[in-house]
Amino acid sequence: MATVTQACSPTSRSEPLRARVAFREVSKRFPGVAALRNVSFEVAAGSCHALVGENGAGKSTLGRILAGLHRPDEGSVVLDGRVCRFSSPGDAQRYGVGLVHQELSYCPNLTVAENLCLGSLPRRGVWLDRAAMKARARRFLEMVGATCDADDELGSLPNGQIQLAQIASVLAAGARVLVLDEPTSSLSLAEARRLEELVGQLRRQGTTFLYVSHRMEEIFRVCDTVTVLRDGQHAATRPLAATTPDELVRLMIGRPLTAYFPTHAERQPGRERLRVESASSPGRFSEVSFSVRAGEVLGVAGLVGSGRSEVAQALFGMDSRMSGRVFVDGEPVSIRGPQQALSLGIGLVTEDRKRLGIVPQMTCGENLTLSALDCPGGRGFWARAARCPWCPRRPECLRLWDWLRLGQERSWIRDYFARLRVRAASPDVPIATLSGGNQQKIVLAKCLARRCRVLVLDEPTRGVDVGAKAEIHRLIDELAADGQAVMMISSELPEVLHLSTRILVMRRGRVAGVMGRTEATQEKLMQLMAGRVGETPQDLALSPVVGDGAQSAGEGASAETSHAN
Amino acid sequence: MPTEPGNVSPTGVTPPQPGARRRFKETGLLGVVVALGLLLSVFGGSMQIRDRGAGEPRTVNKFLRADNLDKLAKNTSFFAIMAVGATLVIIAGGIDLSVGSIYCLAAVCGAMFLHRFGPQGAGAGASPAWVIPAAILLCLGVGTSCGLLNGLGVVLLRVHPFVITLGTMAIYRGIAFVMTRAQAYTHFPEQFTDGLIRYEVGANLYPVPMTLMVAVTVLAALYLKLTVTGRHIFAVGGNEEAARYSGLPVERVKLKVYAFSGLMAGVAATIMLGYYGAASSDAGKGYELDVIAAAVIGGASLSGGRGSALGALLGALIIQTIGNGIIILEIDQNYSQIIIGAVIVVAVVLDRVNTVLRDRRLANAARLEPGIDPRTPI
């Protein structure tokens, strides 16, 4: 094992040995972003060290570096006094570092036992030793308190059990340092409590934890020390006993509110464009009600997994299980797919631009007009075919029967490029060659070209550099001033605070509150998002959240009964 | 944005560069054409002097002689027409393995019909004025229906097209086999064979298959570039999910391309019937691979979103020219498969390299762009 002997080398003797893990001036850059800059701190042996910060502050990157998924550009990771350079997760595993991912990662087609022993399957000769594998799996499943059987197919289990099985598999690989990246984000309340107990139990047996989380109450229950990251830099490390949630929030936000936001254009909210009444979708969100008016930006804040994007997807007809009522311009509608949503004038800019937003092989111009090629004159093949050349909506149409009107298309593209200030060598270069910001502008233009009057923007500035971000902010402001109804989902609180007319906060699939622009502050939003009980300020215009506790308790109960056997 | 033209400031317009796109679309094809020219010149160089004709000795180029070129064009036409169909399917992100079998089934149906109303059939004496159009419609109809069935299987059953068309490949050929009881059908009305498809100009020159091939290719190329459906085909193959989120009728687009592929197999079958005047259930065995190879050599990307009709034609031409060259150069026939296989791999690798280089160039250009644009006050 040459790689292993090279992976870690002893440092000077003066290294204090009580620190199990130490980060030394760790820096990591990704294309276009500096994810981490000179981060240094230590994690004491047997402690549970919380790592907090805003989205994009670098928490997950740091966890991944420790687990060998990324290599730091500069600086080093010191494990038990030895400088380590892990080149793969397997490498890190041999040194007792295990990672449990934010997104659950496993082979859903294999059984629990197979997943658990995947790294080192027990063998008898060339054959797999099934009995030994199962015995080992059972031992570790019992250790973490999972109720599933070693023979269950992993993909068929509830999230909580999968999460536990994953921890079991990391422990089975001999981990003494565990990185838990947002371990409770996909768990029900009862499952999360079970996990917290397990962390406590394992700590008593000497395991060290690096606990990445957004949830304040959880951190204060589970952890003993906390490190705050802000914009990829180390902001503070404190014992949790000596700090308060408010201080942590302050440390996380930290920076002065940047000046690049546009001056809020005068908006006169017009009539109601979109209204959603008690929309629910099992397992995603429940009893969500809100409305968006023309000329206003409804900001939607919430933690990852709070159901924000799921609501957006459902509005776009991508959730067949959604119940509840949706009104567009006062008319009740039922949206069965993107085609219908678009013809109702609802446009969605998805958070996953690469997968759902663009066709990478096509040119910028072709991507821009992709949604706009439909006939605006409505349905009915023969009626359409007969009247197409004499259609009154000719000027807003890009086709003559099935033929493209290329000249018209070109002039549209030119207009939108100018209006949105898209920077590309030409509309005829493949969209994949553009920067993220310009791609995003084209995705936005795609909705506008389709004459959408309700824009649902899901993380409109994700993966966009600072300059383009400011332009997109200005664009959103202009669109609202133009009379568009905009619903903007964002994890960046400053963005939400500066652009929104009203702010809707979601937590665990429910509306936690609605605030006007003037009364909202980062602290208040954070509190609502993270759900600090009993500290909700009086002046918040809270929409009813009755039944939240009851629902969670019910969830917990059902989860428990379902795993009882 | 014609609804609100007042908002548009024409000052910020990026000047359109019409040349950029043409170059981008045709670099792949250019490589194919160059390769083709190279092959032709190699064959042209290996000129052989032979005696030919009745009595008088003449010297002709073995490759460039008229009847050889005609034969090459005829052989190419079957594959090229089907390759154009396959290209549409491949652009849309699918694959059609059943073209050879559809070709066979359409040919067999047409052959049985023509045989029945031919000089030796039960319906002899029927007016060719309706028999011939009916036979052609039958071939095209059978082809389109088979393609449509493939499409329905892919769309409704949500099974990977490879699996669906692998199954229908066997099914369609099986149906042809059962229908014909493994007999060959001949004796078609002369008005169909010699009068139409084998229409002869000069000595041993039959221009109809080649003309149809060119016509089909040009129509398909226009369809892909100038129609809404053509644009949709590229979008569905490029990123199906994004196409769905853009409100495209993804399922209908898929149905259309499979039906079109079937239709093209029907066209090829019609030509084959007229040219050879016979069909059996063996027709078109193994064609699917040659057809897909032609499409791929022509620049179609099996991961979808890329390809062109003209490329498919050139791809088929390349394969046939190599086959022809092997005969002319009197290379051992046993090597032909190895050579053609190698050409496929080389063509695709070259295309790949070309794509990578182009992307790198464009990425560099795009990276330079933001810094030099003074028009955008932030």
pLDDT in tens, B91-148: 999 999 999 999 999 999 999 999 999 888 888 888 888 999 999 999 999 999 999 9
Q: Does residue B244 surpass a pLDDT of 90? A: yes
In a domain, B56, yes or no: no
Residue with tokens 């990425």: B363
How many beta carbons lie within 10 A of that of residue B37, not counting itself?
A: 11
Task: Find the CB nearest B231 among A373, A419, A432.
Answer: A373
Calculate helix-pair angle for B66-91, B287-297, nearest 10 degrees. 80
Cβ within 8 Å of B, A 355-374: 355-363, 366, 370-371, 373-374
Of B226, B238, B366, the CB nearest to A403: B226
pLDDT higher than 80, residue A142: yes
In which domain, by residue range, is B182 found?
A: 63-368
Nearest one of A16, A36, A67, A41 to A177, comparing CA atoms: A67
Q: What is the CATH number of the domain that holds B117?
A: 1.10.3470
Which amino acid would we find at residue A419? R
Q: Is the pLDDT confidence value at B83 over 90?
A: yes
B241 band by pLDDT with thresholds 50, 70 and 90 = very high
Contact B369 A450 (CB under 8 A): no
- Confidence (pLDDT) at B122: 84
Locus of tokens 């994949």: A432
Contacts of A417 in chain B (CB under 8 A): 12-14
Q: Confidence band (pLDDT; 50, 70, 90) for A333?
A: very high
Q: Are A224 and A239 within 8 A, CB to CB?
A: yes
Beta carbons of A29 and A60 less than 8 angstroms apart = no
CB contact under 8 A, A359 and B226: no
Residue B19, Cβ neighbours under 10 Å: how many? Answer: 10
Instruction: Please tell me the distance in Å from A41's CA to the nearest CA on chain B.
Output: 36
Cβ within 8 Å of residue B371, ≥6 positions away: none
**B74 domain residue, yes or no:** yes
Q: How far is A247 from chain B (nearest CA, A)?
A: 34
Q: Does the pTM exceed 0.80? A: no
| Mutation for testing the A interface, residue in B9, B246, B359 having most A CBs under 10 Å | B246
Question: Shortest CB distance from A358 goes to which of B21, B242, B373?
Answer: B242
Beta strands in A31-152 (DSSP E): 33-44, 48-52, 74-79, 82-84, 97-100, 123-124, 127-128
pLDDT tens readout for residues B179-213: 999 899 999 988 888 888 888 887 778 899 999 99
B197 occurs within a structural domain: yes
Which of A400, A433, A434 to mutate to probe the B interface, most B CBs <10 Å?
A: A433
What single-letter amino acid sits at A143? Answer: M
Q: What is the DSSP string of A65-100?
A: HHTTSS--SEEEEEETTEEE--SSHHHHHHTTEEEE
Least confident among A176-180, A295-299, A412-416, B25-29: B25-29
pLDDT of residue B111: 94
pLDDT in tens, B214-230: 999 999 999 999 999 99
Q: How many folded domains does chain B comprise?
A: 1
Q: How large is the average pLDDT for residues B344-366?
A: 71
Q: Residue B327: pLDDT band by 50, 70, 90 thresholds? A: confident
Distance CA B287, CA B297 (A): 15
Residue A247 has pLDDT above 90, yes or no: no
Of A556, A563, A505, A497, the closest CA to residue A532 belongs to A505
Contacts of A31 in chain B (CB under 8 A): none
**Does A13 touch chain B if contact means CB atoms closer than 8 Å?**
no
Is residue B342's pLDDT more than 70? yes
pLDDT band with cut points at 50, 70 and 90 for residue A121: confident
Closest CA to B292 of B127, B138, B79: B79
Q: What are phi and psi of A516, to 5 degrees?
A: -75, 160
Measured between alpha carbons, how far is A533 from A158 in angstroms, rounded to an integer? 27
Chain A residues within 8 A of B241 when measuring between CB atoms: 355-356
Please report where in the chains the tokens 């289990």 appear, as a residue. Answer: A157
Of A356, A406, A446, the CB nearest to B241: A356
Q: In chain A, which residues have their Cβ closer than 8 Å to the Cβ of B21?
A: 363, 426, 428
Other CB atoms within 10 Å distance of the CB of residue A220: 17
Residue B333 maps to a domain? yes
Is the Cβ pair A418, B9 closer than 8 Å? yes
* Confidence band for A55, pLDDT divided at 50, 70 and 90: low
CB < 8 Å to B376, chain A: 421, 423, 471
ipTM exceeds 0.85, yes or no: no
Average pLDDT over residues A216-228: 88
Amino acid B220: pLDDT: 96
Residues of chain B contacting residue A350, judged by C-beta atoms under 8 Å apart: 245
Q: Between A260, A419, A427, which is nearest B7 by CB?
A: A419
Tell me the range of A137-151, A294-308, B147-161 where mean pLDDT is highest.
B147-161
With the CA atoms of B101, B106, B111 and B112 taken in that order, what torsion angle do they form, in degrees rounded to the nearest 10? 100
Could you tell me if residue B54 is inside a domain? Answer: no
Please report whether residue B5 resides in a domain: no
Residue B231 to residue A478: CA distance in whole angstroms: 31
Rounded to whole angstroms, the Cα distance separating A485 from B42 reads 66
User: Least CB-CB distance to A423: which of B18, B234, B369?
Assistant: B369
| Overall average pLDDT of the B219-246 stretch | 94
What is the model's pLDDT at position B162? 94
User: Chain B contact for A225, CB < 8 A?
Assistant: no
Tokens standing for A222?
Answer: 């589970």
Residue B165 lies in a domain: yes
**A275 confidence band (pLDDT: 50, 70, 90):** very high
List pLDDT tens digits, range B26-75: 456 566 656 666 666 666 655 555 555 555 566 666 677 777 888 888 99
Compute φ and ψ for B60, nearest 5 degrees.
Answer: -135, 155
Q: Which of B87, B78, B95 is nearest to B150 (CA)?
A: B95
Q: What is the pLDDT of residue A237?
A: 92
Q: Is the pLDDT of residue B243 over 80?
A: yes
Cα dihedral: A39, A40, A44, A47 (round 10) = -20
In chain A, residues with a C-beta closer than 8 Å to the C-beta of B301 are: 361
- A552-558 contacts, C-beta under 8 A, 24 or more apart: A552/A188, A552/A189, A552/A508, A553/A189, A555/A188, A555/A189, A555/A190, A556/A188, A556/A189, A556/A190, A556/A191, A556/A193, A557/A190
In a domain? residue B225? yes
